[in-house]
Structure 1
Amino acid sequence: MARENQGLQIALIVFVMLALILGVTTFVFYRQYDQEKGKALAADQEKAKVAKDLDAAQREIVELKRILGFAASDTMQVIGQEVPKDMQLAASLPEADRNYRKLVQHLNDTVQKKNQALAVAENDKANLQKQLADREKEAAARIQQHEEEVKKAGADLSQMAANYKKTESELNAEKDKLLTERKEIEDKSNQQIKALQETVAAKDKEIRTARDVAVRYRDEAEALQHTTFEIAHGKILWVNQRTGRVYVNLGEADGLRRLMTFGVFTSSSNDVSQSEKKASIEIIEILGPHMSEARITEDKPGNPVVPGDLVFTPIWAPGRRVRIALAGFIDIDNDGRSDLDRVRGIITTNGAVVDAYQDESGKVIGQVTRETTYLVQGTPPDEKSSRDMRRGYTDMINAATRNLVRQIKIDELFQRMGYRDVDRVTSYGKGASATDFRVQPPPEGVPVSSGTVSPLFKPRQPQRGSKTTF
C-alpha cells in the first residue's frame, strides 16, 4: 500500500513539473509571437512608405525625362547614348559645366551673340549698298567722261595713222641705207678677221716652233747639268752583305743628308731612266765630304748590290736643290686618305723644295714656275671630285706644260728615288693577300749550322716509368 502511494506521489510530481514546463514554454512562445507580429506590422508600414516614395520617384523621373525630351519608356542606356551627342554642342564649355542647364544657357548666349553679329552684318550690308550706289553713280560719270575721251582719241588716232605712214616710209628709206652700210662693214670686218686669223696662225706656228726649240734647249741644258733621270749621281764604293750596309761616294760637300733614299742601278746603266732598279738604299751616316754610309732597304737575292753600282734619286742633285710640284690627290698607301703632308715631309727630308701643291679642298698652294723641276701627278680628279680640285689640277698641268716642266707619276717618283718605308694597308678576311703574311728572314740572314755540335748537348729522353710527356 505504501508503495502504491509512493508511485502516485511520483506521478503527481512529474505531472506538476510537466504542467509548469508547458506553461512556461507557452508563455515564452506567445511573447515571441507578439514581438514578431509587431515587427511584421512595422515592416508593412515601412514597405508602404517605400512604395509611396518609389512611386513619387518614378513620377519625378518620368517628368525629368519629359523635360529633357526623352520618352517615359526610354531606359538609362538610351539616355546615356544620347547625352554625349547633345553635349557636343557645348564642347567649348569646361567638363564640369557640361549639363543640360548649362547647355541651354550656352546655346542662349550663342544665339544672342549670333543675333548681335547678324545685326552688325545687316548694318554693314546697308553701308555697303550705300557705298555701291555712290560708286555706281561715280562710275557712270567716269564712263561718260571716258566715252568723250575715246571720241577724242579716235580723232587723234587718225592723225597719228597719217603721221605713222609718213614716218614709216622715212624709216624704210633709212633702213635700206643702214643695211647697205652694214653689208659694207661686214665685208670689211670679214677681210680683217681673215687677216687676223692668218696672223694668229702664223704666230701659233712661231710659238710652237719656239716651244720646240725651248724644249730642245732645256733637254740639252739638263743633260749638261746632270739633272735628269738619265745620269746617276754617285756609285757604291763598298758593300757588306752580311750587315746590309754600303758606302757611297757622296757626302757633306755634295749637300747629302741623313735619311735620304736612292735607287740602285747596275754599273752598266748609261741611262737610268731606261734601266731597271735593282735595289734601294737609305743614307744613315755622313762620313766625309764625299763619303757616306747607307743601309740596304730593298734588294733582290738573285741580283745583289755590288761595288760600282750607280745610285740615283730624282728629287736631289749635288750642289743644287730640286723643286717639286704636287698635283691631284696624293695617296701612297692606297688607304683612301690623303698622304699629302707625309709626301711633303719625305720630299723636304731628301733635300728638295715643294713649290706648289693642292690641299685637300683642291686649292692650289704655291705656283708652278720655270724653276720647277718636276710636276708629280697623284690621282687625277674625276666627275665626283670637287670643282676646286678639278680646276686646280687642270691649272697646274697647264702651268707645267706652259713652263716646260717635266711631269711624272708619284709611283714612278718613289720607285726611282728608292723610297720603301711606306706603310701599307693590310687587309684581312676575303680581301687578304697571302703575300702580306710571308715569313720574313732575320736581318742577318737565315742561320746555317756549321756541322759541329757541342758535347754538352744531349738529346732529351723521357724517364722510364714516367707518364710525363714532352
Structure 2
Amino acid sequence: MASKENQNLQIVVIVLAILVFILAGVAFWLNGKKTTAMARADDANTKASEAGRSEREMQAQANNYKVWIGYQEADTYDTLQESFAGDMEKYGKYFEEENRSYRNILENIFEENRLLGQNEVTAKAQVKDLTARLLSLEKEKEAQIAKHIEDKDAAIAQKESLRNDFQQQREAMIEENRKIADQLEEQRTRIDELTAACADTEKTLNQEIEKLKRMLVVLKDNQAVPDPYAQPADGEIRLVDQRQGKVWINLGTLDQ
C-alpha cells in the first residue's frame, strides 16, 4: 500500500516536474515572444518616432522653403501652386518651360540688375567726366566771355578815340575847307574884279583899235597914189598917238 502510494507520489512528482518544465518552456517561449514583440514594438515606435521626426523636419524645411520664397507657413500646396502659376505667368512668361523657376528668374533678375548696376556705374563715371568737361568748358567760356568783353571795351574805347580823332580831324577839315572856301571866294571876287577890269580894258582897247583902224583908213584914203618910180618906204606904221603926236614905224630887221 505504501509502495503504491510512493509510486503515485513519484508519478505526481514526475507529472508536476514535466508540467513545471512545460510551463517553464511555455513561459520562456512567451517571454521570448514578449521580448520579440516588445523589440518590434520598440522598433516600430523608434521608426514611428523617426518618421515623425523626419516628417517634422520635412515640414520645417517645407515651411522654411515657403518663407524663403515669400509665402506663409500656413499656406497650402494648392495656394502655393496657384500663386506659383501666377508668378510664372507674370515674371517667367518669356522663359523656357524647363527654366521656369524662382531661382532661374532671380538669377536672371540679378544678372540684369548687375548689368544695370555696371551701366549705372559707367553712366555715373561718364556723367562725372562730362560734368568735369562741362565745368572746364564753362570756365573756358567764362574766360572767353571776359576776354570778349575786355576786347569789346577796348574796341569801344578805341572806337571812341577814333571817333574823337575823326571829329577833331573833321572839324579841322571843315575849318580848313571854310578857310579855303573864303580864300576861293576872295580869289573869285578878285578874279571877277580882274575879269571886269580886263573886260573894261579890252573894251577900251577895242575902241582904240577901231579908232586906229578908222584913222588908218583915213590915212590910206589921204595917201597919194604911189609913184611906181618912187623909192620904197623905209618902214611900216604900227601905231599913231594923236594925243602926243607920235607915230611908231616898223623898219624891219634894219630897225636897230
- The higher relative CO (CA closer than 8 Å, separation ≥ 6) is in 1
TM-score (norm 2): 0.38
More strand by share: 1
Report which of the two structures shows the higher radius of gyration computed on alpha carbons. Answer: 2
TM-score (norm 1): 0.22
